[in-house]
Structure 1
Amino acid sequence: MRKEYNVNISYDKAWPARETAYALVRGTPEESYIVLHAYGEVLNMENSGTRFEIELENDVHFKYMFMVLGPCIRGFSSCRPVIIVDGSHLKGKYKGTMLVGISMDSNNQVYPLAYAIVNNETDRAWKWFMSNLKCAIGEPPNLVFVSDRAVSIGNVIRAVFPTAFHELCTYHLENNNISNFKDNTIVGMFKDAARAFRMSEF
């Protein structure tokens, strides 16, 4: 305001004006929850085979949302049967956690597969995510999940994907080695072993 219009206003006045302008242009977060079901229907119309699920609390309030696009489901059959899962805390007014499942394509590029918005990384939330993921992709042979050491993820994978393998992310294991041993030789040996592609190299 000062640069463009040469008007001095306080932060307390500028912030509500900014929020009002955003709401006029983009709508409010509350309004976006109302159109979630319609958004899911449009996604499915434009991307056949899409799985879009919403769970409500007391049939009124938003609780969970899961989404995997139809083209991503079909393309996953050409990827390695490896799914990396993790959760990320959301910032902003409504908080929550985004659970994601990604894969790697044959060109070693990140392949987005599925995501969900849940209240927190709990056994129940992960089970809901994994159950919807299983409905979308089935249970391919030799499927491998990679995650951090979260106990919830391991428990749910064993319950929902009993024939799948569950491995730990080498990044987290490497950090554990660094903090526990503080020895570059041991950390170097771990890195070499983790990056070995053949049994003889390992």
Structure 2
Amino acid sequence: MRREYGVNISYVKAWHARETAYALARGTPEESYVILHAYGEVLKMENPGTRFEIELQNDVHFKYMFMALGPYIRGFSSCRPVIIVGGSHLKGKHKGTMLVGVSMDGNNQVYPLAYAIVDNETDRASKWFMSNLKCAIGVHPNLLFVSDRAVSIGNAIRAVFSTTFHGLCTYHLKNNILWNFKDNTIVGIFKDAARAFRMSEFQVHWDQLRTLRNAVVSRYLEDIGLERWACVYQTERRYDNMTSNNAECFNSLTKVY
């Protein structure tokens, strides 16, 4: 305002003006919650096959919402059978967590599949999200999930998709290793081991890890499960989706809202 119009106003006044403009253009969040049921019904009419679910607390207050558009559900059958799951905290006036599930299409581009708004990343909320996701996409052969080590997401996948393989994000594992062992050398060896495509190459890096910290590092990774992060031990196809970064990309696109 000062640079373009020569008007000197405080930050608080500018913030209130922006909020007023948003309310005039989009309506208030409170108004949006009131018409959420109607919005879901319109989505179902305009996009056949859409799954839109809302759960209320005490039949009054908003608790959970799930949405998967019909065209994306049908198109998932042409994507790689990989679903990358992630969660992020909402930054607006009304707090909560957004859980997202994205896939990758034939051009290796992010394919948004489903998302949910929940109160927090708890076992109950994650299981509710996974249950609705299963109702939306059904049972797919060779389906695989990738996520970070969030306990609630892992529990929900085991409960709802009991026969589905769950791989872990190597980026988050790398950060966990750095946090636990405070050694960039260990992190570098882990990254090389995770990306190795030949057993002989993996074994070289694994032998290095076993010599560090009295084998504490290698035991830590073995307890996680070698098949969940190392390429050479993969029991299902990950199509080189070694991280949950694609879900984070989807989250970053929505953070301004």
The two structures have a TM-score, normalised by structure 2, of 0.71
Structure 1 residue 19 displacement after superposition: 2.9
Residue equivalent to 1:64: 64
Unaligned runs of 5+ in 2: 202-231, 233-257
Describe how 1:146-161 pairs up with structure 2 within 5 A. 146-161=146-161
Distance, in Å, in 1 between the alignment partners of 2:57 and 2:99 is 19
Residue equivalent to 2:121: 121
Describe how 1:136-155 pairs up with structure 2 within 5 A. 136-155=136-155
Per residue, is there more strand in 1 or in 2? Answer: 1
Q: Secondary structure at the match of 2:79?
A: coil
Structure 1 residue 98 displacement after superposition: 0.2
Structure 1 residue 181 displacement after superposition: 5.8
Instruction: Read off the aligned partner of 2:86 and give its amino acid letter.
Output: D
Cα distance change of structure 1 residues 200 and 10 upon mapping to structure 2, 3 Å threshold = closer
Looking at both structures, which has the greater relative contact order when contacts are Cα pairs under 8 Å and sequence separation is at least 6?
Answer: 2
Distance, in Å, in 1 between the alignment partners of 2:13 and 2:174 is 49
Matched, 1:36 2:40: no
Residue equivalent to 1:170: 170
Describe how 1:173-188 pairs up with structure 2 within 5 A. 173-179=173-179, 180=181, 182-184=183-185, 186-188=186-188
Instruction: Read off the aligned partner of 1:182 and give its amino acid letter.
Output: D
Cα distance change of structure 1 residues 193 and 9 upon mapping to structure 2, 3 Å threshold = closer
Instruction: Read off the aligned partner of 2:108 and give its amino acid letter.
Output: N
The two structures have a TM-score, normalised by structure 1, of 0.89
Structure 1 residue 193 displacement after superposition: 3.2
Instruction: Read off the aligned partner of 1:119 and give its amino acid letter.
Output: D
Q: Secondary structure at the match of 2:103?
A: strand
Residue equivalent to 1:89: 89
Distance, in Å, in 2 between the alignment partners of 1:187 and 1:22 is 45
Distance, in Å, in 1 between the alignment partners of 2:11 and 2:172 is 42
Instruction: Read off the aligned partner of 1:67 and give its amino acid letter.
Output: M
Cα distance change of structure 1 residues 183 and 11 upon mapping to structure 2, 3 Å threshold = closer
Distance, in Å, in 1 between the alignment partners of 2:32 and 2:97 is 17
Cα distance change of structure 1 residues 11 and 190 upon mapping to structure 2, 3 Å threshold = closer
Cα distance change of structure 1 residues 196 and 26 upon mapping to structure 2, 3 Å threshold = same
Structure 1 residue 48 displacement after superposition: 1.0
Structure 1 residue 94 displacement after superposition: 0.5
Cα distance change of structure 1 residues 199 and 39 upon mapping to structure 2, 3 Å threshold = farther
Q: Secondary structure at the match of 1:77?
A: helix
Q: Secondary structure at the match of 2:74?
A: helix
Structure 1 residue 68 displacement after superposition: 0.4
Per residue, is there more helix in 1 or in 2? Answer: 2
Residue equivalent to 2:133: 133
Percent of residue pairs identical: 82
Structure 1 residue 105 displacement after superposition: 1.3
Residue equivalent to 2:108: 108
Structure 1 residue 74 displacement after superposition: 0.8
Instruction: Read off the aligned partner of 1:57 and give its amino acid letter.
Output: Q
Deviations 1:65-120 (A, max 9, x none): 00001111111111111111111000111010000001111221111110000000
